[in-house]
Structure 1
Amino acid sequence: MKIISNILRSALCFSVSGLITTGQLQAAEFNFKLHHLLPPMSEVHTKIMLPWAEKIEQESNGRIHIDVYPAMQLGGKPAQLFDQARKGSADITWTVAGYTPGRFRKSEVFELPFMASSAEVTSQALQQFATEEMTDDFREVKLLAIHTNATGVLHSRGKGIHKMEDLAGLKIRAPNKAMAEVYALMGASPIFMPAPQMSSALSKGVLDVASLSYDIVGPLKIHELTQSTTEISGDRGLYGQVFLFSMNKKSYLKLPKELQQVIDNNSGIKLAAWMGRILDEMGAKGRTLVKDSGNEIIVLSADETRHWRETAQPVIDAWMDDMNSDGEDGKKLYQRANQLIDQYGRKP
């Protein structure tokens, strides 16, 4: 079923100046398709994708119309979404960078353990980092935004995870390559899996632990399939996940300059910050949902968190070494990412 953007005309969350009524909108001159992997009831769909598409339509005075297709309705697999935008089978796509391990190497620094702060802070840092360091990775698309969500936590079936030893032998969803390596070092058995598959995997016992941020708990009913959630103490989370919001370059370039400006005005660091802020709000709601369902929320002590950090350090070191092998300065990239997160974290 096609989900179109104008069903949420009144739900704009991203600041809109000079709202235009339906009667004032002209017939669209340019019709685009926006494709993503999450279900239509997800808040990424209802609070980010639809409002963004509607904002473009309103600010273009109806000259641009964007149909939003959730849940892979246009076909393909989540790992193919970036290439759908690159090749033009969809005009705009939103996907997880980590679904294609090794492709966006520099962005992986934001997925390393104990790197990510809040989604709003980390997304701004990542967007600036991409502008400085990753222009070549996105030369074939119009990058609208690169961002992260709320930091990942561990949702467990059965006995809760109070210490690292509790992970021994458990089958845990790995959100990206770095965290798969971390979980293996901690004694768990990592399994790569897109987020939408986790509900079924938990219910069938394919997974013991869902490594997942709070913002997607509700739509996937993770709180109904698990009994406890483990969080990390401190101002950096266990991990972050990088997302790509991309537009086909030909679709962008066929727009006249004034409509390209509409896209530009709704891209970049302000868009990344807005996406991050919405995802933080969604994460807070997800945590409340977990708590209200009666599930145990375990917060690791500072000492235990330090133990996890020390165990994960070889993964960070290995990433820097790999970047050095590729002719990059891994340590410099790691330090710059940390510097940017600290910088945006200090802003009022």
Structure 2
Amino acid sequence: MISLSSQQSTSATTPVWRQASSQMLAALTVALPALFGAAAAQAQTVTIKYSHFLPANSGFNQKVALPWCAAIEKDSGGKMKCQLYPSLALGGTPAQLADQVKNGVADVVWTSPSYSTGRFPRTEALELPFTMPGDGLMASKAMWDYVQQHAMADYKDFKLLAIHSGGNSVISTASKPIMSAEDLKGLKLRSPSRFAALFLSAIGSTPVNMPLAQVTEGISKGVIDGAMIPWEVLPAIKVDEVTKYHMEGMPSQPGFIQTPMAIMMNKAKYDSLAPELKAVIDKHSGPALVELTGKAWDEGIADTRKKLAAQGNKTLVIKDAEYNAMKKTTASVEADWIKQATARGLDGKQLAAAVHSIGQKYLTK
């Protein structure tokens, strides 16, 4: 048995290097738990992989994706953050984004249900001609209401964060001003969706299915005469630089064709979140996100109009008689869709009536 005096004597004769080692060990004993705690806290940060198909300088990326990401990071106290992948940086095509988010390649995507023919059958009613208001915010609210009431079954494999309007698809041409349905006959025009293609075919144009990234070059080389594209997207892909004329109806009238856009989240990713983080996602989704996107689209439309006017492009508003003639000429698009939807077991007539009713409600607001 070692006495206290013997311990003190032994300590006094301990080499300096061994005393230093003991001190270092004691310091590490205190520091390591703190370090591991910090690492654990960092490991708990949830990263949301957010993919879309427009460039980083686009209105969607700057005015919707970035602010949404900043909001969820702030309200989660830094426990959630985004990693954005604009311009399809995760690979694939716009049409494949729905599968990417369903399969967990991305956690959140922005795409259009229109790009997946037949996959979102109830949502297709939103693409019927002359149904949605021209105002981006009002059209987005109308689309969200319609989907909530009639089309949520389309999104059973996803956590739907928002549906909004991609804006009125104006008809932009390189060299020929368009003021009537007659003027459209024989033109080769890029179509953004199946319904836009049916619309153009009914009028007598030749719809061309072409990725957004190829449209500007297609027009500049004369492969196509123009394109049917929403206002906000024109400068994002520089179509405004190769076209001169942009034809639309009156602001008080429903647009020719609108493309619904969806922001969807991987269902398993959402379900894996802690309750407080789900609450943050919920707070910044639904009506709040519809409001954000709708306002962003309206701002983008206003900015685009100013930009195009400054560079000498012409906006052409067709007269009521020509507008009504276009409605009459393209009425077959809706009639055919009702038959197809009914054949798939849906009440096509009721869905078409609902989208007209809800669109009219927001048109008058």
Q: Give the TM-score taking structure 1 as reference length.
A: 0.89
Counterparts of residues 126-275 of structure 1 (less than 5 Å): 126-233=143-250, 234-275=252-293
Q: Is the counterpart of residue 71 in structure 1 residue 87 in structure 2?
A: yes
Q: Residues of 2 paired with 1:345 and 1:309: CA distance? A: 17
CA contact (8 A) 1:35 1:70 kept: yes
CA offsets 1:52-106 (integer angstroms, 9 cap, x no match): 1111100101000111110000111111001111010111111122111222121
Q: 1:33 aligns with which of 40, 44, 49?
A: 49
Instruction: Check 1:26–1:339 CA distance in 2 against 1; reply closer, same or farther (3 A cut).
Output: farther
Deviation at 1:238, TM superposition (A): 1.0
- Structure 2 unaligned blocks of 5 or more: 1-40
Do the aligned residues in 2 keep the contact of 1:128 with 1:269 (CA within 8 Å)?
Answer: no
User: Structure 1 residues 163, 344: closer, same or farther in 2, change over 3 A?
Assistant: closer
Which of the numbers 88, 100, 118 marks the counterpart of 1:102?
A: 118
CA contact (8 A) 2:143 2:164 kept: yes
Matched with 1:20 is none
Local SS of the residue matching 1:245: strand
Matched, 1:297 2:315: yes
Q: Which secondary structure does the structure 2 equivalent of 1:102 belong to? A: coil
Taking structure 2 as the reference length, the TM-score comes to: 0.85
| Residue matched to 2:66 | 50
CA contact (8 A) 1:223 1:289 kept: no
Q: Is there any run of 5+ residues in structure 1 with no aligned partner, and where?
A: 1-24
* Displacement of 1:341: 2.2
Native 8 Å contact 2:121 2:154 kept in 1? no
Shift of 1:197: 2.5
Query: Are 2:91 and 1:91 aligned?
Result: no
**Which letter does structure 2 place at the counterpart of 1:85?**
V
Task: Report % sequence identity.
Answer: 34
Distance, in Å, in 2 between the alignment partners of 1:314 and 1:287 is 32
Which residue does the alignment assign to 1:4? Answer: none
Q: Which has the larger radius of gyration?
A: 2
What is the total number of aligned residue pairs between the two structures?
A: 323
CA distance in 2, matches of 1:247, 1:155: 33
Other structure's SS at 2:229 match = strand
Q: Structure 1's 194 and 280: CA in aligned 2 closer, same or farther, altered over 3 A?
A: farther
CA shift, 1:50, in A, is: 0.8
Give the residue type in structure 2 aligned to 1:247. Answer: M
Deviation at 1:136, TM superposition (A): 2.1
Aligned 8 A contact 1:121 1:273 in 2: no
* Structure 2 residue 336 is the aligned partner of structure 1 residue 324: no
Mapped to 1, the partners of 2:197 and 2:234 lie a distance apart of 20
How many angstroms apart in 2 are the aligned matches of 1:216 and 1:67? 23
Q: Which amino acid in structure 1 is aligned with residue 173 of structure 2?
A: S
SS at match of 1:136: helix
Secondary structure of the structure 2 residue equivalent to 1:40:
coil
The code of the aligned residue for 1:62 comes to G
